[in-house]
Structure 1
Amino acid sequence: MSKPVQKPPFWYQILLALVLPLYRLRVWQRSRLQPDYQDEIIERFAVKPVAKNQQRKNQLSKPQQVIWIHAVSVGETNAAQPIIAHFLKRGQPVLVTNTTRTGQARAKALFAQNYPELFEAVFLPVDITALMQQFLQRYQPRLFILIETELWPNALAQTYDAGIPTILLNARLSERSAKGYGRVGRLTRPMLEQLSCIAAQDQATAQRFIALGADAKKVVVTGSIKFDIQPPEFLLEQAQQLKQQWQLAQRPVLVAASTHEPEEAQILAQFPKILDQYPDAVLILVPRHPERFDRVAELIEKQGFQVFRRSQQQNIEADTQVYLADSMGELWLWYALASMAFVGGSLSPTGGHNPLEPVRLGVPVVMGPHTFNFKVIVEQLMQAHALTQVDNAEALAQVWLNWLQQPEQAKQAGLAGLQVMQANQGALERQLALIQQLDTLPER
């Protein structure tokens, strides 16, 4: 017999009402010039209606009994990729919700074209009870899967009340995040109680969830599904074509990916040191957030480089020194072109992004000192000498120079990363088994 639904405390609802106008303003400031701005507003602050014309782009032909997967941004979407692919290949409709535009663009790039009637990606509605009730009525999910960390009190309360099994997959919880959740115990404990299962990446994460109030019987350590990621074949094929078309086979290609302010400026300031010794080197900058694309283009010009932009369909030419990859959904493409890579959000105090994407392609990786988002994975890669951690952009440039001067060392770092990937695979199979158990549970 399940417990009755425990609603979030009243103060949370008041806080949500106060923050809502500010959040809507933020969305307007960030997205108002985007062609799909009106769709975003509807999805975040209302609920997208069923399309009268089922040929309408990016809507499920049968929007009921879907597997609902929430992936906050690009990293979570990439982690969820094999899970999503598993269900779509079985003919199961999948709804993906994202919080960020980059995450949604990534999801659509991976699946929208190949599964137009089974796949839909929308923004997660604001966590208001009435909106969540409408959302559940609209899609009638049979299972709710959250990826990694993000928990929303009203969403969990409503899915629990509707008898929808909910699983937190690939769960990670840093010590800092655990302290934050611990400060709002009246909000956190009901959410953890309403989860049917927590599949933790590691034992430390499992213990943190239990300490916050999760039932130890519901917490399972499965490892990280990120070790099971596979690059999309079509992007690998495209990378090979571009490598020939742009004549990159014999050029050092340095990729700085998922970068945040001020990382681009710092790296651009150091890049001339590499050009002094390797004048045919090319730096590909891949900013994390699309609203910063124009700003990064200005930075490139300010540093004295000519700007070549992916968004303008410009190529890497023989004289191209810096290329701005201002596109969405193509991160694997740039990593596939890389001789070596820097994974951003790590020189800035963001916590770093997923290093396993370049590692999966045999690319040696450098990160800055701020890697708490991927602490365990970074430590594993560093122990295997597959990843080098530096304190600043100057040290980053020196590591790149060392690898260019000693290509065998760079090759060994790439191979060591592939060995770490292989040794840690299997989480996907374990997590799919958990999903299968939950998906066959009777309704409460």
Structure 2
Amino acid sequence: MFIVYNLIYIFALPLLILKDFFRKDHGGIRLISKRFGLGLSDQKHTHIWLHGVSLGEIKTLIPVANSFLQKNERILLSSTTNTGISKINKLFGENPNVEIIPFPYDFQRIYNKIIKSFRVKKIILFESEFWPNLLSQKNDKVKIVSFNTIISDNTFSRYKFFKSFIKEALSTIDIFFVQSLDAASKLKNFGLSNVKVLGNIKIYKETYEANQSDYQRIKNKISDCSKCIFTAGSTHNNEEEFIISSLPENNELLLFIAPRHPERFSSVERLLEKQKLKWSKFSEIEKITDEKVILFDEVGTLFELYMNSDFSVVGGSIKYKKGHNFLEPIFAGTSVITGANLENYSEIKSLFCDTGVIETFTSESELRELVNLYIDQKVRERRLILQKTEIDKFGGKYKQIIQELHEI
């Protein structure tokens, strides 16, 4: 089955290369060569390799990386997306103990070269990053850890069609630190017993760290605005139109839209023009004036925007099915609502949404009703207190989780 997988990947490779060539900011020949593992130099020191697919995962891994750096370990950080790589470069680009690479193409020879060049002794893969040829590099000198592991129902259904192949690939992982009993049960279906339930790392406050300069910069732009600021974060295609259509007629409400992917900024601009709303791009204004909508065309500062908001809705849960981290606004100090499509957050959904602590919606009318409710400052404040109180019940385990990562 590995042969079949590799043949399929080889046939798909030209499309991947073409996509990388035309990527904005970090694309082109340089990115492609790096993803082939070219230009690496041998390192004297051993490294711990941490990988997260995109910006959200990288932000969660930053405190983990710092915990290793505090132990005088050297780190290799990788991400698949431009936004993830940009965040790593911003935070660690000048740190001599951190190496940064784009995640490579899935070939054994490339992984072997990276592991040898950086003398990798431990690989920590975040959530569901299971690359067969990377996992095949397991040996006595390299530990592989799956951290904050999640397996959605759709992914599990696909895995069952290739059960022997998946079992062979995943059996190379030394330990799975999973989010939930559900994830543990799914892994055990493949005969894997090296599973430990630690809970979702995103439920702990230590995962979140604000950049005060970004917070203040955003605050300065909106300081003269007396309207209620409603932020729609991490939105996907068709979700912006859904949210705009749900807005009540209220001149005291200002909507911030922060699309999940920066390549969609232009399509959201076209939508706003079509809607004939008074709107501006955040990057082009000095102060808020009489806008109804602000397109937040920044990457990596959504947490700081939440800190400056009155209430928020987290996208990826309306038209997109998997959902995004809807706890983040609470840690930023703002009450939150979310769509009901939260496939990747089923455990947290049962704890916070199914109990009514975080309210959900499935239709435009339901969202409009919630927005009308949350415009009231007293309602928002009571809801935020409830949400914070519930989250605080799950505190205190972060250090234990980090310790587990260090000890493996």
Query: TM-score, structure 2 length as denominator?
Result: 0.92
Equivalent residue, structure 1, for 2:87? 106
Aligned CA distance change for structure 1 residues 264 and 66 (closer, same or farther; 3 Å) = same
Instruction: Choose which of 7, 12, 24 in structure 1 pairs with 2:5.
Output: 12
Aligned partners of 2:297 and 2:49: how far apart in 1?
Answer: 29
Q: State the one-letter code of the partner of 1:326.
A: D
Establish whether residue 194 from structure 1 lines up as the match of residue 172 from structure 2: yes
Deviating more after overlay: 195-204 vs 360-369? 360-369
Aligned CA distance change for structure 1 residues 360 and 242 (closer, same or farther; 3 Å) = same
Instruction: Choose which of 207, 214, 229 in structure 1 pairs with 2:185.
Output: 207
Is the 2:21–2:27 Cα contact (8 Å) retained in structure 1? Answer: no
1:188-211 Cα distance to aligned partner (Å, 9 max, x none): 112221111111111111111111
1:80-126 Cα distance to aligned partner (Å, 9 max, x none): 222112122333222221122222233334x225x521223321101
Aligned CA distance change for structure 1 residues 353 and 24 (closer, same or farther; 3 Å) = same
Establish whether residue 303 from structure 1 lines up as the match of residue 308 from structure 2: no
Aligned partners of 1:156 and 1:35: how far apart in 2?
Answer: 27
Equivalent residue, structure 1, for 2:371? 400
Aligned partners of 1:102 and 1:392: how far apart in 2?
Answer: 31
Instruction: Choose which of 202, 211, 234 in structure 1 pairs with 2:211.
Output: 234
Equivalent residue, structure 2, for 1:43? 34
Aligned partners of 1:199 and 1:25: how far apart in 2?
Answer: 35
What is the SS of the residue equivalent to 2:120?
Answer: coil
Instruction: Choose which of 380, 397, 401 in structure 2 pairs with 1:410.
Output: 380
Note the 1:110-125 alignment, pairs <5 A: 111-112=91-92, 116-125=95-104
Aligned partners of 1:176 and 1:64: how far apart in 2?
Answer: 41
Note the 1:61-76 alignment, pairs <5 A: 64-76=45-57
Equivalent residue, structure 1, for 2:342? 371
Aligned CA distance change for structure 1 residues 123 and 232 (closer, same or farther; 3 Å) = same
Aligned CA distance change for structure 1 residues 244 and 225 (closer, same or farther; 3 Å) = same
Aligned partners of 2:365 and 2:39: how far apart in 1?
Answer: 48
Aligned CA distance change for structure 1 residues 333 and 303 (closer, same or farther; 3 Å) = same
1:228-276 Cα distance to aligned partner (Å, 9 max, x none): 24433424x54245324422573211111111000112222333x2xx3
Aligned partners of 1:331 and 1:203: how far apart in 2?
Answer: 30
Aligned CA distance change for structure 1 residues 375 and 234 (closer, same or farther; 3 Å) = same
Equivalent residue, structure 1, for 2:226? 250
Equivalent residue, structure 2, for 1:437? 407
Query: TM-score, structure 1 length as denominator?
Result: 0.85
Deviation at 1:307, TM superposition (A): 4.1
> Which one scores higher on RCO, CA 8 angstroms, separation ≥ 6?
1
Equivalent residue, structure 2, for 1:182? 160
Equivalent residue, structure 2, for 1:151? 130
Deviation at 1:287, TM superposition (A): 0.6
1:378-424 Cα distance to aligned partner (Å, 9 max, x none): 2211245331110133422321111113x222222212222232222
Aligned partners of 2:109 and 2:186: how far apart in 1?
Answer: 32
Equivalent residue, structure 2, for 1:390? 361
Establish whether residue 221 from structure 1 lines up as the match of residue 197 from structure 2: yes
Is the 2:20–2:27 Cα contact (8 Å) retained in structure 1? Answer: no
Is the 2:104–2:110 Cα contact (8 Å) retained in structure 1? Answer: yes
Equivalent residue, structure 2, for 1:28? 21
What is the SS of the residue equivalent to 2:277?
Answer: coil
Aligned partners of 1:25 and 1:245: how far apart in 2?
Answer: 39
Aligned partners of 2:398 and 2:177: how far apart in 1?
Answer: 11
Aligned partners of 1:264 and 1:117: how far apart in 2?
Answer: 41
Is the 2:25–2:82 Cα contact (8 Å) retained in structure 1? Answer: no
- The runs of 5 or more residues in structure 1 that have no matched partner are 1-7, 52-61, 439-444
Q: State the one-letter code of the partner of 2:159.
A: Y
Note the 1:133-152 alignment, pairs <5 A: 133-152=112-131
Is the 1:64–1:138 Cα contact (8 Å) retained in structure 2? Answer: no
Deviation at 1:358, TM superposition (A): 0.5
Aligned CA distance change for structure 1 residues 48 and 307 (closer, same or farther; 3 Å) = farther
Aligned partners of 1:189 and 1:248: how far apart in 2?
Answer: 58
Aligned residues: 407
Give the alignment's Cα RMSD to 1 decimal: 2.2
What is the SS of the residue equivalent to 1:387?
Answer: coil
Identical residues among aligned pairs (%): 23
Equivalent residue, structure 2, for 1:172? 150
What is the SS of the residue equivalent to 1:284?
Answer: strand
